[in-house]
Structures are given as C-alpha cells and as structure tokens.
A and B are shown apart, each in its own frame.
Chain A
C-alpha cells in the first residue's frame, strides 16, 4: 500500500475511535444544562487534567509551535514561559468559582461575574467578546486539520474535505454528549498527542543530528546561532525586543486562566481537590512543549527555506527517509487530536456562552427553560461550526489579526475575576467601565502601535493599566454592593 493511503487509514481509525469515545458518555449524563455544560459537576481529576491540558494544546501548539522554533527560534520559549505562570492563579480562584457555581447554579464565567457585579450588561458584553475571540480560534483549528490531511495525502484530500470530515466528527459528539464528549475524547487525544510529541521530538534530532545536544551544538556553530538566543526573532526576522517578549509573556499568562472555555471547567470539577490537583499537575502537560519545539529546531539546518513555517512538521514527515507510513499516520492523527481537542472545547463553550450569557440575558426572564436552552445551545453549536468552516475554507478573510487582538481582550477579564473574590469594594459600574476602558485602549494600541510609549510593548499592558485605573476609581465613587452578595464571594 502507498504511504499516503496507510497514513489516511490510520487517521480514519483514529477518527472512528474518537467518535465512539465521544458519543458513549452522552448516554449517561443527565439531560439538563448542568449535565450538558458542566458534566453534572462530577468530573474527576484524570478527565479534568486532560480536558484542561488538551484544550490548551491546539493545532497552534502542534503546527505553530514547531513553526515558531523553526523560523523565530528562542521566541518560541515564550509559549513555555507563559504557560508556566499562567495556570497558577487558577489554583486559588478555580475552587472558589467551583463552590459558587455549585451554590448559585453557574455554568459559565460570565454568570459568576454578572452575579457578583449584579449586571446583566456585563454578561452580554462578555458573551459578545467570547464569541468574537472563539470564532477565529475555531477557524484556525479547522484550517490546521484540513492542512495536515492535505499535506500527508500529498493533495489527494483537499483541505475543505479534511476539515469537514474532522469537524463533522467533533460536531456529532459535542451535540450528543456536551462537555462529557469533550472530556473523554480529550483524555484519549491528550495521551495520544503526548506520546507522539515525545517520540517525534526525540527521534527527529537523533535521526538527523545524532541527538538533541548535537543538534543544538550544530545550530550554535552555524550562521543561524542567533536563533538560540532569547528572546529570538520576530516574524520578519528582526531580533525581538525584551519589552515585546516580556509583555507578551505577561499578557498571555494573565489571560491564560480567563479564557471562558478554560475558566468554566471549574464548574465541571467534582471537588476542590480534583480541581487543585489538575492545576498542580498541569506543568507535566506543559513540559511537552519542549519536544514539540525540538521538532521545529530539527528542521533548521536539515530543511532550510520552508516558507510556510506552519507546515514544517508535515513537511519534514514527507521528506524524511526511513519513517514507517504507520508512524506518519499516527503523527497526522496526533495533529488532528491537537486540533480537535481544542476545537471541541471551544465550540462547546462558545455555544454555551452565547446562549446562557447572551441570549438568556437578552430575552425576558423565564422565556428560556432548561430544555429550550439546551436546544438553543445545540443549534448554536451547528451554526458556529458552519460559520468557522466558512471562514476556514471559503472566505479569503484572515482572522489571525482578530485572534491576536482577542488575547489582549481576554486578559482584561482578569481584574474583574480577581476583584470578584478579593476586593469587596468592587462595584458593577466599576467592573463594566473598567472592562470597556481596557478593551478600548487595547484595541487602540493594536490598531495604531506607533502610539505606544514603549516600542514593541504588547497593547494588552496599556489596556490593563487603563482597566485597573478606571475600575478602581469608578468602584470607589459608586455605592458598594449588597453586603450579603459580596460576602458570599469574599468568604467563598
């Protein structure tokens, strides 16, 4: 059999197993919003660990990570750095969110914040921002899935068909099983991509250079040595500034636990203990970025001149001698796993947020009952998947800019979440005006970077400064919120 066909069969088997694993748990979970969105608040450590880990490791990590290491060198270490520090706040805030969710019945991030700050407007704003951030994110995952299938089959499977089949599977298990479908498939996908990453990250340098140390020594001795010096290069090949590197690490770390699809997994945890253990053990997932970056570094001297750097992983696979077609298929499936395990979580959260925080807050109270809400969420799952698919294959619009901008927006949620638990004097007016100021300033400096007082600084930093200043000032100028409500958060 030809290589591409073997690889395609392996991917097909992987997709079939994923589909089965995604549909089965849906037969057990209760038919309710708490069941569909928060797994009846009963997720244990193992599944939670893989859900969080695999949701974060997207096709950006699997394709973009090696691409960055290949073309921008040490700047890719920023991905390791922000994950290292970004998850820690969740150790403290996550369990509080979980207990409040249990007490008040929250299943989304905005439900908690809009309750604490007694503001329906806040909920609608957060829902809108989440959707704007999620659609490009999902689009990129679909493009990643289409791209890998296209490259591995040497163009025989078009990107449109590849993306449609993979995300067809995702839509089916998200529809049937909700977050539990995400949970069990992510456990499988997470294990799968970890094994693939470690194998490939150690095997490629050994095959091409005789070892990891030898590979780095060879790069250090070549004219590409500058790649290995932090903070690496920018996309255009210039040295990246320390202001740019440090602020990018900070903003990504601050936003890390604020991504709605990650934050809302606190409600799925069955206990504080399960949630804390997940956060504590997260670095064991994070460390597998190291072999992923090694894949990219392996290409630097062996395969110079690859222009589409996101394709360096599949490119190396199709070029290298002596790799079994089954292994190529497994790597391809591992990349699909990375794409799907983020895509499913994003799709599920985006639809839940859109309905629970957007629609339910915009229509008269009582209009949506539990059954109707689930129906709307499922409908929105299909609509959002179709929209992202349109952007992925049919539209020429590039959403990358929107996604980059959204990292700065998401970080603006952090002061609100922090103050919800730790600053009793924070008020709804303060929270909403701070958030809007943060978004505005963030967007301003993103669109006109020349205005920035420090060249190369991530615009999110200026957004956060404006956010916190306005949040604190307006809170102190407005009447405190009802003590009972605030107390339940501060003492949660």
Chain B
C-alpha cells in the first residue's frame, strides 16, 4: 500500500492481492469451484504441449477416429462433464458468484 494521502480514506482498506470470492462465500462453494478450476487446468494442459504430444499419433484408432482427434474430443467431453457437475451443485438462481 502506498502512503500518499488520499481524499477517500477508505481506499486504504482495498486488498492488494486477488479476491476470487466475495466475502461471505460459502466455503463449500469455494472448495467446489477451486476443485473445478484445478480439473479445468488439467483439461487445458491436455490439449497443449507437452501433454498433447503424448496422444498425437494415429493409432490406436478409437471408434474409428485417429488418436489425435479422439483425444481432443475426449478433452471436450471431460471439460463438459466437469462443468455440468459444477453447475449441478450451483443451480440456485439467487446465488452470486
């Protein structure tokens, strides 16, 4: 925090770091979202170097698709399932986030 005088004193109370959840967020919701974020980063990594090169070949063919394509489709489905699961726990329309 800088020490220069300011007209609005309350500015001093602004945190310097990231605030990912509004104060008072249910800790279970926080945990679920962080868990989702971790899984999502795995999905992101799976379609990038250095993970995707492990699955970039043609064989084995899966359901008629070359492995390189099947892998990307698998990543799509995994991401879809994870977000669907998160959403199922957050359906309350009045919820903030």
Answer whether residue A234 sits at the interface, using C-beta atoms and an 8 A cutoff. Answer: no
Q: Are A212 and B57 in contact (CB under 8 A)?
A: no
- Which A393-407 residues have C-beta < 8 A from chain B? none
Cβ-closest chain A residue relative to B25 = A491
Q: How far is the CA of A284 from the CA of B69 in the complex (A)?
A: 17
Q: Are A491 and B22 in contact (CB under 8 A)?
A: yes
Cβ-closest chain A residue relative to B2 = A479
B14, B18, B64, B87: the one within 8 Å of A483 (CB):
B14
- Which B1-53 residues have C-beta < 8 A from chain A? 2, 4, 6, 8, 10-11, 13-20, 22-23, 33, 40, 43-44, 47-50, 52-53
B84 CB to closest chain A CB (Å) equals 6
Known A80-B73, A229-B57: A482·B63 in contact at CB below 8 Å: no
Q: How far is the CA of A291 from the CA of B8 in the complex (A)?
A: 58
Which residues does chain B contribute within 8 Å of A213, judged by CB atoms? 61, 63-65
Answer whether residue A164 sits at the interface, using C-beta atoms and an 8 A cutoff. Answer: no
Q: How far is the CA of A253 from the CA of B41 in the complex (A)?
A: 13
A84, A211, A250, A422: the one within 8 Å of B75 (CB):
A84
Which residues does chain A contribute within 8 Å of B97, judged by CB atoms? 92, 95-96, 272
Known A74-B69, A230-B68: A85·B79 in contact at CB below 8 Å: yes
Q: Are A229 and B43 in contact (CB under 8 A)?
A: no
Answer whether residue A231 sits at the interface, using C-beta atoms and an 8 A cutoff. Answer: yes
B39 CB to closest chain A CB (Å) equals 11
A95, A216, A245: the one within 8 Å of B65 (CB):
A216
Give the residue among B15, B22, B47 with the most A Cβ atoms within 10 A.
B47
Q: Are B66 and A490 in contact (CB under 8 A)?
A: no
A220, A250, A283, A480: the one within 8 Å of B48 (CB):
A250
B95 CB to closest chain A CB (Å) equals 7
Q: How far is the CA of A211 from the CA of B45 in the complex (A)?
A: 32
Q: Are A220 and B66 in contact (CB under 8 A)?
A: yes
Q: Are B66 and A290 in contact (CB under 8 A)?
A: no
Q: How far is the CA of A283 from the CA of B86 in the complex (A)?
A: 15
Q: Are A283 and B80 in contact (CB under 8 A)?
A: yes
| Additional 8 contacts, C-beta under 8 A, given A74-B68, A490-B19 | A85-B47, A228-B66, A230-B68, A230-B72, A246-B48, A423-B17, A480-B11, A490-B22
Which residues of B approach A to under 8 Å, CB–CB?
A: 2, 4, 6, 8, 10-11, 13-20, 22-23, 33, 40, 43-44, 47-50, 52-53, 55-59, 61, 63-66, 68-69, 71-73, 75-77, 79-80, 83-84, 86-87, 90-91, 93, 95-97
